[in-house]
């Protein structure tokens, strides 16, 4: 209950081709842009994603206004890797807006689960919102709101009506135990220094602002926390449940990357480095034209999705480089197995991220370090 976990126009005649040079040549051809330097990581990313996005799509069209020689020009469509590279570059170069005492992150999330009520089973979507303020000193405020639970499809609504159209609270009707009931907001005010809290990793706002802007250096910094995390996992989880360390580590890096993007005041340079780091993880691929849970289209870093494995998606705005949202899609059901479609789909979308001078409006009586916070 309320437990949400949100160019091929110019090709250098070089054999073998240098991926960075290929990427640079393609970048020059896109939309008649001026020549600009493309960092070497972009070429590596293009090479790594070529099997997914190929290299680009070429079309030959007549020149506008006609061509007396009957010649044609080549119009090029960028590969997904190049789209991500350009978006990350724009984000990394963007200065942060001046001013603002608080960093504010507003997201909405949803989780699709199976509900069983009065002998009827149907798929529901549980929705919630979160606004996070990271303020001067150590002050941090979280306002988590319940946005309600609803049947997903017409067939689900029919089954829900057969069950008596009960009030739903997540996957059941036990609304009294909800931490964040629909229509209510739970406020948590804390003076804790840690902004990013993930098991053995706790980073303050200042430490997050100081994180590297280079993907390799960022990965190295984050992995310096991994030994303690791995030790804790082996202690807390039965040995037979723990997977190979490399697999656990890469999943951990992905989750830390998501948190840095959605829940912390990381700099634009660090955010761009997160994209590059995640795109370089084993099993990651870059695909253009992916929609987030709100229907917005962007370029995405995907990971997983093999047989019996859920797929994680990070969708990024092509123009600004800002994150649009994250989603986890479960694997397709095994042959012959009956499973409600969409069961377990989790998503989180970004509504607003950035600095503001607006103070968090906290009801009277919601004191710092008040445990579970207060419900209003």
Q: How far apart are CA 145 and CA 362, in angstroms?
A: 13
**Across residues 211-222, what is the average pLDDT?**
96
**343 touches 330 (CB < 8 A):** yes
d(CA 369, CA 18): 55
Helices assigned H by DSSP within the chain: 19-29, 40-53, 80-93, 154-162, 205-209, 215-223, 226-236, 245-263, 268-279
The pLDDT tens digits of the residues spanning 140-190 come to 888 888 888 899 889 989 988 998 888 888 777 777 777 787 888 888 888
Q: What are phi and psi of 132, to 5 degrees?
A: -120, 130
Split at pLDDT 50, 70, 90, the class of 63 is very low
Nearest to residue 303, comparing CAs of 287, 288, 292, 319?
287
State mean pLDDT over 242-251.
83
Nearest CA to 110 out of 350, 331, 345 is that of 345
- The dihedrals phi and psi of 369, each to the nearest 5 degrees, come to 55, 45
Percent of the chain with pLDDT over 70: 69
pLDDT of residue 330: 80
Rg (CA), the chain: 24
pLDDT greater than 70 at residue 296: yes
Q: How many helices (H) and strands (E) does the chain have?
A: 9, 14
Distance CA 75, CA 232 (A): 54
């Amino acid at each position: 209950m309320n437990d949400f976990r949100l160019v091929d126009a110019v090709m250098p005649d070089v054999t073998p081709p240098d991926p960075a040079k290929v990427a640079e040549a393609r970048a020059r051809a896109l939309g008649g842009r001026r020549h600009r330097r493309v960092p070497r990581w972009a070429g590596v990313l293009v090479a790594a994603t070529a099997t997914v996005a190929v290299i680009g799509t070429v079309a030959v069209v007549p020149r506008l206004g006609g061509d007396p020689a009957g010649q044609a020009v080549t119009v090029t469509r960028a590969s997904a890797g190049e789209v991500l590279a350009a978006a990350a570059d724009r984000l990394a170069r963007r200065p942060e807006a001046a001013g603002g005492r608080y960093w504010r992150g507003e997201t909405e999330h949803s989780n699709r689960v199976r509900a069983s009520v009065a002998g009827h089973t149907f798929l529901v979507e549980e929705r919630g919102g979160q606004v996070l303020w990271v303020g001067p000193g150590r002050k941090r405020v979280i306002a988590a709101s319940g946005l309600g639970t609803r049947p997903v499809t017409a067939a689900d609504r029919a089954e829900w009506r057969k069950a008596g159209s009960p009030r739903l609270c997540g996957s059941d009707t036990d609304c009294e135990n909800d931490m964040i009931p629909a229509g209510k907001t739970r406020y948590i005010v804390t003076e804790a220094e840690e902004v990013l809290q993930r098991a053995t990793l706790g980073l303050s706002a200042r430490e997050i602002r100081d994180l590297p802007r280079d993907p390799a250096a960022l990965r190295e910094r984050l992995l310096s926390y991994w030994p303690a995390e791995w030790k804790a996992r082996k202690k807390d989880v039965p040995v037979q449940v723990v997977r190979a360390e490399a697999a656990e580590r890469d999943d951990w890096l992905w989750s830390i990357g998501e948190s840095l993007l959605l829940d912390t005041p990381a700099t634009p340079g660090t955010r761009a480095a997160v994209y590059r780091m995640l795109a370089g993880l084993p099993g990651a691929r870059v695909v253009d034209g992916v929609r987030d849970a709100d229907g917005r289209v962007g370029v995405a870093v995907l990971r997983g999705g093999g047989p019996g494995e859920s797929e994680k998606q990070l969708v990024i705005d092509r123009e600004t480089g800002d994150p649009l949202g994250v989603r986890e899609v479960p694997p397709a059901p095994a042959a012959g197995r009956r499973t409600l479609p969409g069961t377990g789909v989790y998503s989180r979308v970004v509504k607003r991220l950035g600095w503001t001078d607006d103070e968090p409006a906290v009801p009277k009586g919601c004191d710092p370090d008040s445990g579970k916070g207060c419900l209003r």
